[in-house]
């Protein structure tokens, strides 16, 4: 007897669509809403996007399809880091395209945006698509981080598309990728090139969202995957009773992942980068928060615990940001060569001491030596400190160790401190998508084709009302320019999609803040376990705690 594997069962899973997208494309009509404007810098964004700015929000509904009935040849790319569900966006796009006409074609450009530039593609068919349904990863065509941002690149993309008869592109990516999609759409509209551009919101970091985009795809699966591991670590900590686990999770620009994992697992401490910045917390203050949890639990005989650390937290510490700036200035130009030529760390340390201000030197001095050296040895091609490489989980555990040693010398701490370190990153980016992400991503792709068929460009595929069952989801689209503002990038003002940070007055953070004091000293761990694909809907189709709280559930 052959026993089916989970993978084989997932191939057969039929993702759920919003009710308005069910029954075939012939029964989907469009309803236009109000005109839109950008989230900020309206006049500047309007000037940069004269052909695509201010378009109406749209919603699909049951009714007669009034779109032009013509053959559709569409191209699709995956852009940026992986996120669970990307394959289903492509599958939903393919199924909708074929539902309109078997003659329609879908080109997948390989390796991300560079595939468009290099004209490296595959034409999808049923057999190809069926091998990737409901699976994790981006291996169906691969991804890449090449930016489409110059007119020379746009001209090449236009030429490649026209050589294949492609009249629409779907760009599946995060905030930068969809910013590029908006710029590309504007270029094509200005030239009347006849090529539409539609984006789909992807990132496990959760920072591509607003009042319209309730959740970026992949966030649900990634945080559930990390939370399973964190729950396992908590159970092990409670069993062994002798280790403090410092767990770093992804999220350099925002702490949505850390907050969601905390809501799911209730660790003893979870740092939130946005709170660190808002309160202008120092490294010493953060360390004291962590050390106090260790000491208070030790006083109860519990020499173990779990702390969650967002990947980018040190960049939110004001004094640390100043230190990094001064280090970059200190090693600019020929001074870097003089520094590198010094034979010993002692001599390099003296060089650093002479070059930093007293305030920054005080911050530098409290860092563990391994981190000090890392700041000066790990540099990017421009000579700047690579902050993302700093092992913040090790940084804080080392500083906590020193803090506890001082407490022990004062007689205020008598416990034992044995730290262990973890970084949860790649483990979640390509996981088998949850039912939520399988359904959501399939709907995003199906919906993207409906936007194309009705002639929209410069729009983001939008599925909302996500805290309800899939049949109650609302499908539509919003102009990408609605999400944009101006930011300073590499010395120039650039139009970019505004990142969504954790809102300190939002329901998810407030829920966390009301409970963290109890979690800090007591053992309140929750063990979510593995993602469930079969069983009661309240288990298998559950959303993240973040989304439920934001929607008042």
Q: Is residue 283 part of a domain?
A: yes
- pLDDT score recorded for residue 192: 97
DSSP state letters, 150-205 = SHHHHHHHHHHHHHHT--EEEEEE-HHHHHHHHHHHHHHHHHT---EEEEEEB-TT
Q: Is residue 18 part of a domain?
A: no
Residues 237 and 315 in one domain: yes
- pLDDT score recorded for residue 69: 87
Residue 518: helix, strand or coil by DSSP? helix
- pLDDT score recorded for residue 370: 85
Residues 241 and 387 in one domain: yes
Q: Is residue 448 part of a domain?
A: yes
Residues 401 and 422 in one domain: yes
Range of the domain at 49: 31-218+433-497
CATH code for position 290: 3.40.50.460
Residues 308 and 164 in one domain: no
- pLDDT score recorded for residue 252: 84
Active site includes 288? no
- pLDDT score recorded for residue 7: 84
- pLDDT score recorded for residue 5: 86
Residue 334: helix, strand or coil by DSSP? helix
Residues 423 and 281 in one domain: yes
**What token pair was written down for 516?**
């963290």
Q: Is residue 442 part of a domain?
A: yes
Residues 423 and 284 in one domain: yes
Number of structural domains in the chain: 2
Residues 441 and 420 in one domain: no
- pLDDT score recorded for residue 547: 96
- pLDDT score recorded for residue 158: 97
Q: Is residue 356 part of a domain?
A: yes
| 97 sits in which H/E element | helix 86-100
CB contact at 8 A, 213 and 462: yes
- pLDDT score recorded for residue 340: 87
Say which DSSP state 217 is in.
B
Q: Is residue 56 part of a domain?
A: yes
Residues 278 and 159 in one domain: no
Q: Is residue 502 part of a domain?
A: no
Q: Is residue 2 part of a domain?
A: no
- pLDDT score recorded for residue 381: 63
Tell me the HSE value of 389 on the side-chain side, using a 13 A CA sphere: 14
- pLDDT score recorded for residue 256: 97
- pLDDT score recorded for residue 492: 80
Residues 486 and 512 in one domain: no
Catalytic residue among 205, 207, 220, 541: 205
Query: Of 472, 497, 522, which marks where a domain is finished?
Result: 497
- pLDDT score recorded for residue 124: 98
Residue 385: helix, strand or coil by DSSP? strand
pLDDT in tens, the chain (553 residues): 555 688 888 999 999 999 999 988 999 999 999 999 999 999 999 999 999 999 999 999 999 999 988 999 999 999 999 999 999 999 999 999 999 999 999 999 999 999 999 999 999 999 999 999 999 999 999 999 998 889 999 999 999 999 999 999 999 999 999 999 999 999 999 999 999 999 999 999 999 998 889 999 999 999 999 999 999 999 999 999 999 999 999 988 899 999 999 999 999 999 999 999 999 999 999 999 999 999 999 999 999 999 999 998 998 999 998 998 899 888 887 788 899 899 999 999 999 999 999 999 999 998 888 888 888 876 666 566 777 778 899 999 999 999 999 999 999 999 999 999 999 999 999 999 999 999 999 999 999 999 999 999 999 999 999 999 999 999 999 999 999 999 877 668 889 998 999 999 999 999 999 999 999 999 999 999 999 999 999 999 999 999 999 998 7
Q: 527: how many CB neighbours lie within 10 A of its CB? A: 16
CA 91, 96, 101, 104: dihedral to nearest 10 degrees? -50
Residues 419 and 443 in one domain: no
Residues 373 and 417 in one domain: yes
- pLDDT score recorded for residue 490: 64
Query: Of 452, 474, 497, which marks where a domain is finished?
Result: 497
Query: Of 454, 477, 497, which marks where a domain is finished?
Result: 497
**What token pair was written down for 152?**
């020379």
CATH code for position 75: 3.40.50.450
- pLDDT score recorded for residue 24: 87
Residues 413 and 443 in one domain: no
Of 528, 549, 309, 311, give the one whose Cα is nearest residue 434: 528
Residue carrying structure tokens 């160790």: 401
- pLDDT score recorded for residue 383: 65
């Amino acid at each position: 007897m052959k026993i089916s594997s989970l993978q084989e069962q997932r191939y057969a899973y039929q993702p759920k669509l919003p009710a308005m997208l069910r029954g075939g494309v012939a029964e989907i009509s469009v309803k236009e809403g109000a005109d839109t404007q950008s989230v900020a810098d309206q006049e500047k964004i309007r000037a940069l996007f004269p052909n695509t700015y201010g378009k109406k929000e749209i919603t699909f509904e049951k009714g007669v399809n009034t779109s032009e009935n013509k053959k559709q040849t569409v191209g699709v790319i995956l852009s940026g880091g992986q996120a669970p569900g990307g394959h289903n966006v492509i599958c939903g796009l393919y199924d909708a395209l074929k539902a309109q006409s078997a003659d329609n074609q879908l080109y997948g450009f390989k390796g991300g945006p560079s595939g468009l530039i290099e004209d490296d593609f595959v034409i999808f068919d049923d057999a190809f698509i069926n091998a990737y349904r409901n699976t994790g990863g981006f291996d169906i065509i691969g991804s890449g981080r090449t930016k489409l941002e110059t007119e020379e690149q746009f001209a090449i993309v236009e030429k490649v598309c026209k050589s294949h008869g492609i009249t629409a592109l779907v760009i599946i990516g995060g905030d930068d990728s969809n910013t590029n999609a908006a710029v590309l759409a504007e270029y094509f509209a200005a030239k009347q090139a006849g090529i539409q551009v539609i984006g789909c919101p992807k990132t496990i970091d959760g920072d591509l969202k607003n009042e319209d985009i309730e959740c970026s795809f992949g966030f649900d699966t990634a945080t559930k995957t990390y939370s399973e591991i964190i729950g396992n670590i908590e159970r092990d900590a409670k069993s062994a009773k002798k280790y403090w686990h410092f767990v770093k999770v992804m999220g350099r620009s925002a702490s949505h992942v850390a907050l969601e994992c905390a809501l799911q697992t209730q660790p003893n401490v979870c740092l939130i980068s946005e709170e660190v910045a808002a309160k202008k917390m120092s490294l010493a203050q953060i360390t004291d928060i962590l050390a106090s949890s260790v000491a208070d639990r030790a006083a109860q005989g519990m020499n173990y615990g779990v702390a969650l650390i967002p990947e980018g937290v040190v960049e939110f510490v004001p004094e640390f940001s100043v230190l990094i700036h001064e280090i970059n200035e200190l090693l600019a130009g020929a001074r870097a060569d003089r520094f590198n030529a010094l034979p010993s760390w002692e001599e390099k340390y003296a060089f650093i001491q002479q070059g930093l201000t007293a305030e920054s030197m005080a911050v530098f001095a409290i860092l563990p030596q391994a981190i000090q050296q890392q700041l000066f040895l790990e540099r990017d091609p421009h000579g700047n400190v690579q902050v993302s490489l700093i092992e913040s989980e090790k940084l804080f555990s080392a500083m906590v160790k020193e803090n506890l040693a001082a407490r022990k010398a004062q007689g205020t701490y008598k416990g034992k401190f044995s730290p262990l370190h973890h970084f949860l990153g790649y483990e979640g980016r390509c996981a088998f998508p949850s039912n939520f992400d399988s359904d959501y991503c399939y709907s995003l792709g199906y919906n993207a084709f409906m936007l194309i068929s009705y002639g929209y460009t410069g729009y983001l595929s939008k599925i909302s009302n996500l805290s309800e069952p899939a049949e109650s989801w609302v499908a539509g689209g919003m102009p990408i320019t609605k999400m944009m503002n101006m930011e300073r990038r590499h010395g120039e003002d650039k139009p970019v999609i505004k990142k969504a940070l954790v809102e300190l007055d939002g329901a998810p953070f407030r829920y966390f803040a009301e409970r963290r004091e109890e979690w800090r000293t007591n053992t309140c761990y929750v063990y979510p376990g593995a993602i469930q694909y079969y069983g009661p809907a309240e288990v298998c189709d559950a959303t993240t705690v973040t989304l439920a709280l934001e929607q008042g559930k």
